[in-house]
């Protein structure tokens, strides 16, 4: 069988993890790398075993030798790049958030025809899957509620050195759209269809440096009648493990990063613990698993399960927080 030919756009921090995963996959060949900064493109191409590189991503749109494109660029570029590539018939795997605006995300879904995947790698964690199965099979009774929290640390230099973080036009938001979107996605993945969100976003620490929020909280209400309480901040002194708790009628499942504890009537059991890995632990460690599974879908010519429709609720929810923060009213989802 011919190898699937892949290109990657955006050679910053996260691209290293994509290239690492791609070079370990059989039947997949990274043929070109793109960045506006030549040195970065060259360096990533070397990591990929010396593949070609370009400074112009639009080369990929009309290139018949490229089947799949990974988008690892700043948020505001995800939608225009994905839309052009999808319209040209390519498969696209984009980093989170799928877009920085809901309308752009909806346009991506409209043109995708089952060819779009979004990186929410934490859904692949063993701990996430354990909680999801408990929700679905009802082994602890009904799910009564969820909570999630993110206490991370981001310096002024993290924003000022990037050229795109910290500004509404290029990042599309702050801690919600960038760091804690994964946790919102997990709450939505576990809680099912959300009907409304009410919350608040503010810049508590870095208001002299960034336009966007460094702190936010919200209440998500689900069709099932349960709620999820959520808090996220980049103002803490360290990157602490993300916490998610799922409270059932007969048990509580408590997640710290990838360590999962199960409490049944006060008897606490360790279900799984954080995997040792070179990948930044607070990102989660699921990139390799997600990318492998994405290519299984490509090979079998079927849609990837974390597609635009599956990724959209997290974007809608966080944009709802921005709106409800202004109006002080719940936003319907
Ligand atoms: N899934 C995760 O856990 C995770 C973790 C980190 C980052 N990310 C996401 O990955 C994306 C990139 O993040 P990063 O930290 O690597 O950012 P980064 O700033 O380190 O890298 C972005 C790269 O894109 C390049 N670029 C910008 N405009 C371009 C253009 N027009 N054409 C080609 N290249 C262009 C920049 O030169 C830069 O090298 C973001 O969407 C981010 O949210 C996801």
- pLDDT digits 0-9 by tens, 242-264: 999 999 999 999 999 889 999 99
Which carries the bigger pLDDT value, residue 278 or residue 299?
299
Percent of the chain with pLDDT over 90: 95
pLDDT band at 32 (very low <50, low <70, confident <90, very high): very high
Averaged pLDDT of the chain: 96
**Has residue 279 got a pLDDT over 60?**
no
> How do strand 143-151 and strand 243-248 relate by DSSP bridges?
antiparallel
Confidence (pLDDT) at 90: 98
**Has residue 278 got a pLDDT over 90?**
no
Residues 298 and 320 both lie in one domain: no
Ligand 1 centroid – CA 96 distance (Å)? 10
pLDDT band at 274 (very low <50, low <70, confident <90, very high): confident
Ligand 1 centroid – CA 260 distance (Å)? 30
Please state, in angstroms and as integers, the Cα–Cα distance from residue 298 to each residue in 65, 68, 193, 218, 286, following that order. 15, 9, 27, 36, 18
**Has residue 161 got a pLDDT over 60?**
yes
Is 60 within the bounds of a domain?
yes
- Ligand 1, atom nearest to 283 Cα: 3
- The best mutation among 56, 73, 306 to test binding of ligand 1, ranked by most ligand atoms within 8 Å of the C-beta, falls on 73
CB 155 within 8 A of CB 208: no
286 lines ligand 1 (CB under 6 A): no
Backbone region of residue 18 per phi and psi (left: phi > 0; alpha: psi in -120 to 50; beta: other values): alpha
Is 208 within the bounds of a domain?
yes
- The best mutation among 39, 95, 279, 315 to test binding of ligand 1, ranked by most ligand atoms within 8 Å of the C-beta, falls on 95
- Between 15-23 and 287-299, two packed helices, what is the crossing angle to 10 degrees? 50
- Ligand 1, atom nearest to 11 Cα: 39
**Has residue 323 got a pLDDT over 60?**
yes
Confidence (pLDDT) at 282: 60
Spacing of C-alpha 298 from chain mean position: 20
Is 284 within the bounds of a domain?
no
Q: Which domain holds residue 71?
A: 4-121+289-307
165 lines ligand 1 (CB under 6 A): no
Among protein residues, the one with the nearest Cα to ligand 1's atom 4 is 14
Residues 151 and 108 both lie in one domain: no
Residues 316 and 298 both lie in one domain: no
Average pLDDT value for residue range 200-227 = 98
Is 283 within the bounds of a domain?
no
Is 90 within the bounds of a domain?
yes
Give one DSSP letter per residue of 283-306, joined into a string.
G-S-HHHHHHHHHHHHHTTS--SS
**Sign for the pseudo-dihedral over CA of 268, 272, 276, 280:** negative
Confidence (pLDDT) at 246: 98
Ligand 1 centroid – CA 261 distance (Å)? 34
- pLDDT digits 0-9 by tens, 52-101: 999 999 999 999 999 999 999 999 999 999 999 999 999 999 999 999 99
pLDDT band at 283 (very low <50, low <70, confident <90, very high): low
- Between 181-191 and 308-327, two packed helices, what is the crossing angle to 10 degrees? 110
- Ligand 1, atom nearest to 78 Cα: 41
Residues 100 and 129 both lie in one domain: no
Residues 301 and 238 both lie in one domain: no
Token pair for residue 199? 């919350």
Rounded CA separation 1/138 (Å)? 42
Quick check: helix, strand or coil at residue 24? coil
Cis peptide before 97 (omega within 30 of 0): yes
322 lines ligand 1 (CB under 6 A): no
Confidence (pLDDT) at 280: 61
| Total domains, the chain | 2
Token pair for residue 105? 């995300």
CB 260 within 8 A of CB 271: yes
- pLDDT digits 0-9 by tens, 171-192: 999 999 999 999 999 999 999 9
Residues 241 and 322 both lie in one domain: yes
Residues 69 and 156 both lie in one domain: no
Residues 317 and 269 both lie in one domain: yes
Rounded CA separation 249/230 (Å)? 20
Average pLDDT value for residue range 134-150 = 98
**Has residue 232 got a pLDDT over 80?**
yes
pTM of this prediction?
0.97
Token pair for residue 278? 């070179």
- Ligand 1, atom nearest to 56 Cα: 32
Residues 89 and 126 both lie in one domain: no
């Amino acid at each position: 069988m011919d190898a699937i030919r892949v290109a990657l756009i955006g050679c910053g921090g996260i691209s290293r993890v994509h290239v690492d995963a791609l070079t370990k996959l059989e039947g997949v060949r990274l043929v070109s790398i793109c960045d506006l900064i030549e040195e970065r493109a060259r360096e990533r191409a070397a990591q990929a075993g010396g593949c070609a590189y370009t400074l112009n991503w639009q080369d990929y749109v009309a290139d018949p030798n490229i089947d799949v494109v990974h988008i690892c660029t700043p948020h505001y570029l995800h939608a225009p790049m994905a839309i052009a590539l999808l319209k040209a018939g390519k498969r696209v795997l984009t980093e989170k958030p799928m877009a920085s605006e809901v309308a752009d995300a909806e346009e991506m879904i409209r043109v995708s025809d089952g060819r779009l995947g979004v990186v929410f790698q934490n859904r692949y964690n063993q701990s996430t899957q354990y909680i999801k199965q408990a929700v679905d099979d009802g082994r602890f009774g009904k799910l009564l509620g969820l909570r999630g929290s993110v206490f991370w640390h981001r310096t002024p230099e993290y924003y000022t050195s990037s050229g795109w973080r910290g500004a509404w036009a290029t990042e599309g938001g702050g801690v919600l759209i960038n760091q804690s979107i994964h946790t919102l996605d997990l709450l939505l993945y576990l809680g099912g269809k959300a009907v409304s969100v009410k919350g608040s976003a503010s810049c508590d620490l870095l208001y002299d440096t960034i336009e966007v929020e460094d702190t936010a909280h919200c209440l998500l209400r689900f069709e099932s009648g349960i709620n999820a309480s959520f808090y996220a901040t980049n103002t803490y002194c360290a990157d602490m493990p993300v916490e998610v708790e799922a409270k059932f009628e007969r048990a509580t499942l408590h997640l710290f990063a990838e360590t999962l504890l199960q409490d049944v009537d006060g008897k606490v059991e360790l279900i799984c613990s954080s995997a040792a890995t070179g990948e930044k632990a607070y990102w989660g460690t699921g990139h390799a698993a997600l990318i492998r599974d994405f290519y299984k879908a490509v090979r079998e010519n079927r849609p990837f399960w974390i597609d635009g429709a599956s990724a959209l609720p997290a974007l809608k929810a966080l944009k709802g927080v921005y709106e409800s923060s202004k109006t002080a009213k719940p936003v319907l989802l």
